[in-house]
Amino acid sequence: MREETDRAKAVRLEREYRDALKAEADYDILDPLRGELEETYRRIVEIDPDDANTLIELAVLLSTDVQVPDGESVELLWRVFDMDRADEDVCESLVGLLENLSEEEEADEVYRLASEAGNLQATFELAARFDERGDLEEAEPLYRRAAEAGNAHAVANLAALLEERGDHEAATALRNAEGARPS
86: three-class secondary structure by DSSP: coil
Question: What pLDDT was estimated at residue 180?
Answer: 44
Residues 114 and 155: their CA atoms lie apart, in Å, by 20
**pLDDT less than 70: residues of the chain:** 1-2, 65-70, 178-183
108: three-class secondary structure by DSSP: helix
Question: What pLDDT was estimated at residue 11?
Answer: 93
Residues 136 and 158: their CA atoms lie apart, in Å, by 10
Question: What pLDDT was estimated at residue 133?
Answer: 94
Residues 48 and 35: their CA atoms lie apart, in Å, by 20
pTM for the model: 0.77
CA torsion angle 42 47 51 57 (round to 10) = -10
Residues 80 and 99: their CA atoms lie apart, in Å, by 18
Question: What pLDDT was estimated at residue 179?
Answer: 55
**pLDDT tens-place string over residues 55-108:** 999 988 888 765 555 688 889 999 999 999 999 999 999 999 899 888 999 999
